Amino acid sequence: MSAGYFPKREKVGLEDLFKGLVTASHILHYHGVLDAYGHVSVRSPDNPATFWMPCNMPPALVSTPEDLVEYKVEDASEVEKNAKKGYLERHIHSEIYKRFPSVNAVVHSHCSEVLPYCISGVPLKASTHMAGFLGSDVPLWDISSHYSSGGKHDLLVRDSQLGASLSAAFKPATSAGFLYSKVRSALPTQIGGSQEPDKEPNFATVLMQSHGFTTLAHGIEEVVYQAIYTKKAAQEQTAALTIRNAYFGHIIEGNVDVQGGGKIKSAKVKAEGDLTYLSDREAHDAWESNQGTVHRPWSLWCREVEVCPLYKNDCPGCDDD
C-alpha cells in the first residue's frame, strides 16, 4: 500500500494503518487542509472491499483505534453495526474505491485557499514542479445537475449516486488533460500500480463547485502530499495572479466612436504578462520525480504533529523487523 510510511513491509497491518490514518488526520489539520470538517480514508490492507476513516469528529481530535470506522466499499455501510456515527459524505470515498481498484487513500477538503477556484471560473493549474500531479488543468465537478428528485440541494455528497458522479470526474469519457494514469500504471503493483490503465484515474485532484476538492492516491503519504500541495498550488497561483494584475494592469482595446461621444465600440480587456504554467510533459515528469520522495516531507510532518500538544496518537504501532 505504501512506499514511504511502511517501507520495510510487503503487507501493511491494521496497527500500521490505524496509526498512519490518525497521523494523516493530524497533519492535514496542522497544515490547514482540514479544520473541523473534511476527512481522509484508507482502503483496508486485509480486505480491499472495505475502507477505514475516522468517525464523525474533528480530524485534530482523532486519537485511538476506537475513533476509526470500517465501511464497505459497495455501499458505504458500516461493517460493525454498533460503530460510531460516521461522516455523511463517506460516499465520496466508497465510490472512488469502487471505481478505481488501485486507489487506496482519499482526502476531501474545504480548504479556503482552494475554494476561490471552485467558484470564480478561474482554472487551477500546476504552476510549480511540486504540484505536477495537478497537470495542466484540474476538473471542476458541479453537483447541481446530479441531485436526485426530491433530494436536498445542499452540495453534500450524501449518497452513492452523487458519489459515483464525482468519481467519474477523475476519469472523464474524453480527456485531454494530464494522464495521471500513465505514472500510476508504471508503478510496481505492490505500491498501487496497475496493469489495467482503463481502471486508473486520469486526474489526481478534482475541484467541487462551491464546495472544496477531493484528491486520491495509492497510499497515505502520497494523498497527504497531494492535499497539502493542492493548497500550496492555489496559494501560489492566487499570489501570482494578484501581483501580475497589480503590476501590469489591463488595457482596453477597441474602436472609438467619435460621433457617439467618444465611446469605445467592441471593447476588449487585454491583460499583459500571462502566467506561465507547466506543460503536460513537465507536469507528468515533475510528478514522476517527486513521487519517489514523498517520504521526505512525510517524516517532517509526522514530527511536527508529534511534538504539538494538541494532537494525540494512542494507536499502537508495529516495530519493523
Residue 148: what pLDDT?
Answer: 86
User: How many domains is the chain partitioned into structurally?
Assistant: 1
Range of the domain at 85: 14-270+277-306
Residue 4: what pLDDT?
Answer: 39
- What is the domain-level CATH number for residue 57? 3.40.225.10
Q: Catalytic residues, which ones?
A: 89
Identify whether 318 is part of a domain. no
Identify whether 44 is part of a domain. yes
Residue 301: what pLDDT?
Answer: 98
Are the beta carbons of 79 and 70 closer than 8 angstroms? yes
Identify whether 43 is part of a domain. yes
Identify whether 5 is part of a domain. no
Identify whether 41 is part of a domain. yes
Identify whether 63 is part of a domain. yes
Identify whether 9 is part of a domain. no
Residue 285: what pLDDT?
Answer: 95
Identify whether 311 is part of a domain. no
pLDDT (tens place) for every residue of the chain, 321 residues total: 343 344 444 556 788 899 999 999 999 999 999 999 999 999 998 899 999 999 999 999 999 999 999 999 999 999 999 999 999 999 999 999 999 999 999 999 999 999 999 999 999 999 999 999 999 889 999 999 999 888 899 999 999 999 999 999 999 876 554 445 555 555 544 444 455 667 899 999 999 999 999 999 989 999 999 999 999 999 999 999 999 888 887 666 666 665 666 566 666 655 555 789 999 999 999 999 999 899 999 999 999 999 999 999 999 875 544
What is the 3-class SS of the chain, one letter each residue?
CCCCCCCCCCCCCHHHHHHHHHHHHHHHHHCCCCCCCCEEEEECCCCCCEEEEECCCCHHHCCCHHHEEEEECCCCCECCCCCCCCCCCHHHHHHHHHHCCCCCEEEEECCCCCHHHHCCCCCCCCCCHHHHHHCCCCCEECHHHCCCCCCCCCCCCCCHHHHHHHHHCCCCCCCCCCCHHHHHHCCCHHHCCCCCHHHCCCCCEEEECCCEEEEEECCHHHHHHHHHHHHHHHHHHHHHHHHHHHHHCEEEEEEEECCCCCEEEEEEEEECCCCCCCCHHHHHHHHHHHHCCCHHHHHHHHHHHHCCCCCCCCCCCCCCC
